[in-house]
Structure 1
Amino acid sequence: MFENTAHLFIELEQVCLQIAGEISQKDKSEKAIPIKVEKINDYEFNFRVGGDVLIFILQSNIVKLSDDTYLAKSKYLKSDDNLKYFGQILIYNFLSDTLTFGRLDDLGYLLGRVLLNMENKFFLEGDRKVVFNFPELKENPVTPEKMRALVEQLILSALDNDLLAPAFQDIMVINYHQKLEHTSSMGNPKKIGFDFFAKNRE
């Protein structure tokens, strides 16, 4: 099962590289959108698009759904206990400046968690706008078209989420250590927030 998840992880990286190439080909202006895929290691890569970065993380462990989750109670998973075991791929959204300036206190959002079972079918949790474009687990085998759609929708979700300025009171008083250590992050914005889905869609 891990092999299937690792293969899917590589496929997602290839999709990101393809999209990056297509955007670069179409946008050759002086003010072209910064776009780049960076492989960190076999378990992580980053996809920077404009002011956002999607961080894809392959989990090395196989997990089992708890029996009290709604998905575990479905007829599909009850038919074979082995179907309750999943490989995981996590996709976080950070601001590009967070990585560029090493702002350790900046928050990231889990835009998507892909759970892949032994039949190469996947279940998606995360931003509701993305999740609702994919069927339930038993009707959702991995296909190149779905992986392309997933990456495209994750990009749109990240780019469409506005930045919120911190409250004036939160940055009104700082000590000198904060100034020395966090100059690049003073007053940095945060995402307004996403409408996350991790519950029953029915």
Structure 2
Amino acid sequence: MSEPLQCNTRVMQLLTEKASIKQEVFRKSKDYFNMMKGVVESVTACVADEVTKVDDALQLEYKDNSPNECELHFSGDVLLFNMHTNVFTFDKNHRIWQSGYVREDKRRAYFAMINIYNFLADSFRYNRMNDAGLLLARVFVNREGQFFVEGKKQMSFIFNHLGQQVMDEANIKELVDTAMICSLEHDLTVPDYKDSMRVSVKQIQSLSNELQLKTAKKVDLGYYPRMTRE
């Protein structure tokens, strides 16, 4: 009878150390994202109650799309929150490796990632598949609940202190408020006239279907199906 196979010690080490940490990050990330969903829903209700007193046309809406995604609709904007299903770390040139918090325990360098996108509400309403959204921020949270943000302007420098800020309701609310402000401060601008001079029949037909307009030779060059934010 042959001798029983011996387990590879390196395989065992990687599974019990690295793989186990990743599993823990993923399990806890679901709790953090559920907390974020709850805050987004509460912010939606709170702001809606106040702004409708000024203008009842200013409707806000929260949508829970899936365990890993939710949306906040406000004015002409949509914030889409999406949690990636994988766990990440960073290459050795990334600034997190200079953090005393990470140098103290390298297991703290494994993160779940939550993306925050800004889209135009009409892109969804009229199913404009060519419209582009803007990635406002990437939120990285580890198994200890410590997080930091990479993103546009204030989204990045407000939440830039790994090891000093925890993913709790207060910080999530500030994050959501900041994302809304960033979206509202960036207006939709008219594309350059030269970029809009040539229009395909497909684009015109798509435009007519989306806005329920009759096809005609007179074309409003101020509108273009690929308009995006700066």
TM-score range normalised by the length of the shorter chain: 0.7 to 0.9
1:21 aligned partner, one-letter code: A
Q: 1:119 aligns with which of 144, 156, 165?
A: 144
Question: Superposition pairs for residues 63-82 of structure 1, below 5 Å?
Answer: 63-82=88-107
Identity %, equivalent residues = 26
Residue number in structure 2 paired with 1:190: 228
The 8 Å contact of residues 2 and 87 in structure 1, kept in 2 or not, is answered as: yes
| 1:35-46 aligned within 5 A | 35-46=60-71
Check if 1:32 corresponds to 2:57. Answer: yes
Q: CA deviation at 1:106?
A: 1.2
Aligned with residue 59 of structure 1, among 69, 73, 84 = 84
1:79-126 residue CA offsets vs partner (Å, 9 max, x unmatched): 222111100100000111111111111111111111011211001111
Distance in 2 of aligned mates of 1:25 and 1:70? 42
Q: Does 1:92 align with 2:130?
A: no
Does 2:172 correspond to 1:134? no
What TM-score results when the alignment is normalised by the length of structure 1? 0.88
Taking the aligned partners of 2:121 and 2:161, their CA distance within structure 1 comes to 32
The equivalent of 2:180 in structure 1 is 155
Cα distance between partner residues in 2 of 1:54 and 1:165: 22
Alpha-carbon distance in 2 for matches of 1:175, 1:67: 47
> Which segments of 5 or more consecutive residues in structure 1 lack a partner in the other structure?
193-202
Query: Size of the alignment, in residue pairs?
Result: 192
2:36 aligned partner? 12
The normalised TM-score by structure 2 is 0.78
Q: Comparing both structures, which one devotes a greater share of its residues to strand?
A: 1
* Partner SS state of residue 224, structure 2: coil
SS in 1 for 2:95: coil
